[in-house]
Chain A
């Protein structure tokens, strides 16, 4: 443990940017706003690079206590920060990708009226995300956790005049609250059993307990509750429903918050708590199962979506499922590796999708795109690289991380591996479907007449005709190119398990578990075989997409028609939203209306107030008749009162 006084500077910088833009942005010029946002975010990135450069494995982990917070008896919580290998990776991903997306946003959001607001929110998000990543205890992490939820809410509902955006923001917020409920209970359990929320303290205490292999105990409960929180934030079954709706936000937001960084917070949290999960195999299994199911489930929904951002949203849910699968089988470093490469290629995919949407004037329906490779070659090239990366074509980034996960999953159980491979096939299929529908063939957007009437999509409008799709400005293409390079070569950090070794000090236990296997030679051959299979299915998915969406574009409609109900179910997202509406939303609203509103609020609280007022009026109504105006009755009351007083005094005197 080495103190490092620079740690707290990293999150404070974007906060300063957010404050300056938030307070003074309304009256500033857009150039000034951009300068503030980029300088503070860039400074955070520079600080992160500085911390990375001065990072030494021998001195790690670094920490810094900024201020006292809670001191209650033996229980202490401080505003303290913590930097080890895991948070360093997250720190670089968050600041790096975040900075690129800030640059991109300058171009994308330039014409929006709420430009200063947007930049301020983005910086605010960076502050909370960095707080989350750099926290030294669960409570500071929780501040960041809630804060990114807030920033997410603000940015999803950024175009709040649009009903669907406002509703999507609320949905995201409420679903996240459900997860946070689990997270909070987990924190309470930790306080109760370990008397602390500090990472080092809690993990040491958890390590001292035996693994709960036989039955479920405290650690299993904590693990499961943490997983509930992670499922909310990282959009896993059953709490994934908010993420696709969150695509109502501006595309840079989708890229930054809902693909690259915030949604991976759950994975980070589970990985951070690896010491707890290590002692709770049952919780680990739940994590793995949820992750695997989510990966497959979301991927199948992605096949039938026509909105370019929705496809990417379900793809994100699916990839997050992979990460949880990795964490669940104990391959935490593989999960974090995939988190990193996913931040590159999925961030890139969203930014490229934003570039496409920008280029065709706010259209998001892929059926009205097509042929865009001619109009926007840079976007096509970069998005192509990202697609190859996510599909797992070697040697791009996604191949390394996904293969790592599949290999670790195979070591745990072949079922995980099989579902993972099927998911990889589907992923490859829907991503190349997206590519062919967007960039292949001929342009299907009705040039001139229809392409401009999409103010409703909330996208920036240039205020002039959108006759032809056009390439985006360089301020947007720059980040695309950088991310494309990272997506292409980012995977090499994992070559020869270097990434795993780098993270090993954080996940000692997980590494031990993963190291237990059969003899190296046999392992190697199996690993290469599995690698070949996963690359093969990726190629197969590509070929199928090529066949259906490039060679024979009529075929998908016929297949969809022949599948009938199944296709309907998939394209309606398995009616999960409708199911939740019937199961949870409607009973909640009905219950609130009949029981809470009419029953308790009106029946008990209002009634108590009104009835006591009525009673008071009745009593005084009776009492006022004493004042009859009849002089002799007054005299009678006076005499009676005097008699009572005298009688009392006499009685007292007798005593």
Chain B
């Protein structure tokens, strides 16, 4: 039986990797993947707690998150394609018109 803390540590590492990737990377696709990494890091902690406490609600949450992430991926990829068509770049530093 793997202790809970291992799962949580892995979950934290995954989340931090996601955050760092989100902050550091310039490519939109990579950033998108970083978001997925963060979501899955959280998912891992949900299921770990669910298994630890023998409660199903954590696993239900994970399904919710997966559904939302799938929907988000669909919308997000559509936006990325639209951005690429107009700007011909995937570098987020050059997609900076939304400002004062």
| Contact present for B99 and A631 (CB under 8 Å) | no
CB <8 Å contact, A628 and B96: yes
Q: Indicate which residue in B23, B95, B98, B100 contacts A639 across the interface (CB closer than 8 Å).
A: B23
**Which residues on the B side are within 8 Å of A631 (C-beta)?**
31, 92-93, 95-96
Q: Is B19 an interface residue when CB atoms closer than 8 A count as contact?
A: yes
Contact of A629 among B19, B31, B98 (CB under 8 A): B98
* CA–CA, A624 and B95, complex, Å: 18
Contact check, B92 vs A636: say whether CB atoms are below 8 A apart.
no
Are the C-beta atoms of B93 and A627 separated by less than 8 Å? Answer: no
Distance from A123 Cβ to chain B, minimum over Cβ atoms (Å): 67
Asked if A629 and B23 make an inter-chain contact with CB atoms under 8 angstroms apart, the answer reads no
* Given A624-B100, A629-B98, A639:B19 Cβ within 8 A: yes
Bound-state CA distance A326–B19 (Å) is 100
Distance, CA A153 to CA B26, complexed state (A)? 81
The CA-CA distance from A61 to B83 in the complex, in Å, is 99
Are A627 and B100 also in contact (CB < 8 A) when A632-B23, A632-B26, A635-B23 are? yes
Which residues of A612-655 have CB atoms within 8 Å of chain B's CB atoms? 624, 627-632, 635-636, 639
Chain B proximity of A635: nearest CB distance (Å): 5
Chain A residues close to B by CB (< 8 Å): 624, 627-632, 635-636, 639
A635 touches B22 (CB 8 A): yes
One digit per residue, 1 when the CB lies within 8 angstroms of any chain A CB and 0 when it does not, for chain B 15-28 equals 00001001110100
Q: Measured between C-beta atoms, what is the minimum distance from A203 to chain B in Å?
A: 76
Chain B residues in 8 Å Cβ range of A635: 22-23
Q: Find the A residue at minimum CB distance from B97.
A: A629
| B92 / chain A contacts, CB cutoff of 8 Å | 630-632
Residues of chain A within 8 A (CB-CB) of B24 are: 632
**Contacting residues, chain A, for B19 (C-beta < 8 A):** 639
Hey, which chain B residues are within 8 Å of A624, CB to CB?
A: 100
- Inter-chain contacts of A627 with B (CB < 8 A): 99-100
Given the complex, which residues of A lie within 8 Å of B23, measured CB to CB? Answer: 632, 635-636, 639
- Interface extent on B, as a size class? 10 to 19
**Closest 5 A-B residue pairs measured CB to CB?**
A629-B99, A629-B96, A631-B92, A624-B100, A629-B98
User: Separation in Å of the B47 CB from the closest CB of chain A?
Assistant: 21
Determine the distance from Cα of A631 to Cα of B90 in the docked complex, in whole angstroms: 12
Does A630 contact B100, Cβ atoms closer than 8 Å? no
- Sample of 22 A–B contacts (CB below 8 Å): A627-B99, A627-B100, A628-B96, A628-B99, A629-B96, A629-B98, A629-B99, A630-B92, A630-B93, A630-B96, A631-B31, A631-B93, A631-B95, A631-B96, A632-B23, A632-B26, A632-B92, A635-B22, A635-B23, A636-B23, A639-B22, A639-B23
- For A631, the closest partner residue in chain B by CB is B92
Segment 25-76 of B: residues with Cβ below 8 Å from A: 26, 31
Query: In the docked arrangement, what's the CA distance between A636 and B23, Å?
Result: 6
- Report chain A residues within 8 Å CB of B97: 629
Q: Which residues of A contact B99 (CB under 8 A)?
A: 627-629
- In the complex, A624 Cα to B99 Cα: how many Å? 9
A627, B97: Cα distance in complex, Å: 11
Least distance between B92 CB and chain A CB atoms (Å): 4
Q: Measured between alpha carbons, how far is A627 from B96 in the docked complex, in Å?
A: 10
Q: Which residue of B lies closest to A625 (CB)?
A: B100
Give the docked Cα–Cα distance between A624 and B98 (Å).
12
Q: In the complex, which of the residues A624, A628, A632 has the most CB atoms of chain B within 10 Å of its own CB atom?
A: A632
Q: Provide the residues of chain B in CB contact with A628, threshold 8 Å.
A: 96, 99
Interface pair B100/A632, CB less than 8 Å apart: no
Question: Min CB distance, A525 to chain B, in Å?
Answer: 104
* A-side contacts of B22, CB under 8 Å: 632, 635, 639
In the complex, what residue of chain B is closest to A628 when comparing beta carbons? Answer: B99
Bound CA span A624–B93, Å: 18
Residues of chain B contacted by A639 (CB below 8 angstroms) = 19, 22-23
Contacts of B26 in A (CB 8 A): 632
Contacts of B96 in A (CB 8 A): 628-631
In the assembled complex, how far is the CB of residue A194 from the closest CB belonging to chain B, in whole angstroms? Answer: 69
Which B residue's beta carbon lies closest to that of A624? B100
Residues of B within 8 A of A636 (CB): 23
**A636-B25 Cα distance, complex, nearest whole Å:** 12
What is the CA–CA distance of A636 and B92 in the complex, to the nearest angstrom? 14
Residues of chain B lying within 8 A (CB to CB) of residue A629 = 96-99
How far is B95's CA from A257's CA once the two chains are assembled, in angstroms?
Answer: 84
Q: Please, which residues of chain A bring their CB within 8 A of the CB of B98?
A: 629
Contacts of A630 in B (CB 8 A): 92-93, 96
Return A653 CB to nearest CB of chain B, in Å. Answer: 15
Task: Give B24's nearest chain A residue, CB to CB.
Answer: A632
Chain A residues, Cβ within 8 Å of B100? 624, 627
Tell me the complex Cα distance, A105–B100, Å.
74
CA distance A639 to B17 in the complex (A): 12
When C-beta atoms are compared, the residue in chain A nearest to B25 turns out to be A632
Bound: A632/B99 CA distance, A = 13
A650 to chain B minimum Cβ distance, whole angstroms, is 13
Query: Nearest chain-A residue to B28 (Cβ)?
Result: A631
**Alpha-carbon separation in the docked complex, A628 to B100 (Å):** 7
Compute how far the CA of A629 lies from the CA of B95 in the bound complex, rounded to whole angstroms. Answer: 8
| Listed residue (A624, A627, A630) with the most chain B CB atoms within 10 angstroms of its CB | A630
CB distance from B89 to the nearest CB of A (A): 13
In the docked arrangement, what's the CA distance between A639 and B22, Å?
A: 10
Q: How distant is the Cα of A639 from the Cα of B97 in the complex, in angstroms?
A: 22
CB distance from B11 to the nearest CB of A (A): 14
Residue of B whose beta carbon sits closest to that of A642: B19
A643 to chain B, nearest CB (A): 9
Whole-angstrom distance between the Cβ of B35 and the nearest chain A Cβ: 10
- Alpha-carbon separation in the docked complex, A639 to B98 (Å): 20
**9 new A-B contacts at CB < 8 Å, known A627-B100, A628-B99, A631-B92:** A624-B100, A627-B99, A630-B92, A630-B93, A630-B96, A631-B93, A632-B22, A632-B23, A639-B19
Cα of A92 to Cα of B92 in the assembled complex, Å: 97
User: What residue of chain A has the Cβ atom nearest to residue B20's Cβ?
Assistant: A639
Chain B residue, CB-CB nearest to A620: B100
Q: How far is the CA of A299 from the CA of B76 in the complex (A)?
A: 101
Measured in the bound complex, the distance between the Cα atoms of B96 and A283 in whole Å is: 85
Give Cα A636 to B24, complex, Å: 9
Give chain A nearest CB distance to B74 CB in angstroms: 20
Q: Which of A627, A628, A629, A639 has the most CB of B within 10 A?
A: A629
Closest chain A CB from B41 CB (angstroms): 14
* Chain A nearest Cβ from B72, distance in angstroms: 16
Measured between alpha carbons, how far is A628 from B95 in the docked complex, in Å?
A: 11
Least CB separation from B98: chain A residue: A629
Smallest Cβ distance from B29 to chain A, in angstroms? 13
A639 to B18, CA, bound (A): 11
B2: min CB distance to chain A, Å:
24
| Chain B nearest Cβ from A644, distance in angstroms | 14
Bound: A635/B95 CA distance, A:
14
Q: CB-nearest residue of chain A relative to B100? A: A624
Distance in angstroms between the alpha carbons of A631 and B34 in the assembled complex = 14
Residue of A nearest to B96 (CB): A629
